[in-house]
Amino acid sequence: MKFKHMKNIVLFGPPGAGKGTQAELLKNKYNLVHISTGDVFRYNIKNKTALGTLAKTYMDNGDLVPDQVTIDMLKQEVEKNNQANGFLFDGFPRTESQANALDVFLTKKNTSISGMVSLEVPENLLVERLLKRGETSGRADDQDEVKIRNRFNEYKEKTSILQSYYEKQNKFYAVDGVGSIEDINERLQKVFNNLS
């Protein structure tokens, strides 16, 4: 199999950091396929795929979906887009075992993760942003400060593990996520342009 030069980026950031907004801009600029774990889950569950049905049984019981099910869903997404220039992973990987499985899978495809780019935003600013978003989004988890801070704690625990995982590979990049959408996007592009 011929080596295909791809730009594969893991986009990270706490809830409210603006990942969704930036992912839209970046996927268009770099012609990447945006794979959002949330979207993939919703698609599989809505369309009652075998993996969606399996994931739903765990979710209905209030359990976390096992890594393997999540990984299998993501693999399917990558397989669907064989001709892609690269992928922008959003919300995945979330654990070291997922990151490891992603590395193994991409290696088999003669490619790898170019970098993990993390949007850094102070927690108090994020709480403000999410509470403001909660006024219009209707999302219950954006309206309760205790729940919001709980999401941050969970995020910090998971990210610190992934940060050190990618730092060991010299693939971790922190980007200041404060400012206008354009300013943040410019900072992200500077990092993206240097990733291969």
Q: Which residues are catalytic?
A: 19, 94, 133, 139, 151
Residue 41's contacts (CB-CB under 8 Å, 6 or more residues apart) are 52, 55, 65, 73
C-alpha radius of gyration, the chain, whole number: 17
Per-position b or e across 58-91, b if 16+ CB within 10 A of its CB: eeeeeeebebebbbbbbbebbeeeeebebbbbbb
Residue 35's contacts (CB-CB under 8 Å, 6 or more residues apart) are 74, 77, 78, 87, 88, 89, 90, 92
